[in-house]
Structure 1
Amino acid sequence: IVFEAARLGRLIGDLLDLSRLEEPQAVPEELVDLSASARRVIEDARVDGRVKSIELNVEISGGVFVKGDESQMTVLIRNLVENGIRYTLEGGRVSVDVYQDGGNAIVRVSDSGIGIPLEAQARVFERFYRVDRARSRDRGGTGLGLAIVKHVAELHGGEVRLESELGRGSIFTARIPAVPPPQQRILSAG
């Protein structure tokens, strides 16, 4: 009962996140420190990783900024990291990289998890789609996390891509247009 109540709580939270994303004014134009957002998400995720004895490798470059909504970007990172941990078997590995590549901020989460069959990869970003409904339900997924990730990335002018091999793991890469850090913005304005 406790597990199901927690799953329903996550479902309600995900539905609220998704409904907020569909509002016309969904993306404020604030400066978001993606590096700091990722560090906060990682601190929370370390507990879940330890419970499953998952090796969490983190490489976060400083000064990676985007323009948009900080809470939405945090949800994007959290959903990718939580999925990596959720679908990686005990003793596996999840890597989180946040860096700037040219004009884009990159959030890359790779895992040594169960992987996604090729025929399901095109659908994983659909609302309520689950590759294996029974296994996803057992792991506490709502079927909305990756739909939210895709929506957030697109609202911020970006995209999310997936590379996966069944039994070998997955790599999710979100690419969002980057903006210069605050000190560079001041120097370039003068």
Structure 2
Amino acid sequence: MNTLWRKWTSWPYFKHALIGVLVGGELTHFTMEHIVAFRTAAGPSMLPTMSMHEYAIEEKIRHEWFPQKLQRGDMVTYRAPYHPNALVCKRIIGLPGDTILIDPTTLPDPLSRAQSSNTRKEHVVIPKGHLWVQGDNAPASRDSRMYGPIPIALITGRLICGWGTLPGPIKFKWYRRPSPVSIFRPS
């Protein structure tokens, strides 16, 4: 026991252990910053797809490296235009060049509808370098219907899978793209 203790507290052993901890910490940090991250749903905007307090794995996306990775129907996280420190999760509805029909009666709350100067439906063409995102639970979602298309540069990642927090067995699920969304294309 005494010799084992001396071996563990000796400088060469301690040095190797310290190097292992530092390298492991750096690899973990690199992975969480550039490859995958764990997220928690905080609000009702993605119900019923994602329940509140559901955990999810986010695949980090560098849009400048892989712009084709983002597709209609993907659930993405992005920095909120109205609060840059907040991460928000929504579904991509429209890609650059798509035309989206906005119905002001579907805005989340009466205040938003009152602030909207437009009471008629309108078509919006998504500019290059932008996306149209919406929550699955439209009445409870602040999304592109309120602040317009978001720059692709705000996207931080795509959610690939998640699991709930309800009592009982943990239910693991993949976030697959839903059936194609109908897009208005003027002739």
Q: TM-score, normalised to structure 1's length? A: 0.22
Which of the two has higher C-alpha Rg?
2
Pick the structure with more strand per residue: 2
More helix, by proportion: 1
Give the structure-2-normalised TM-score.
0.23
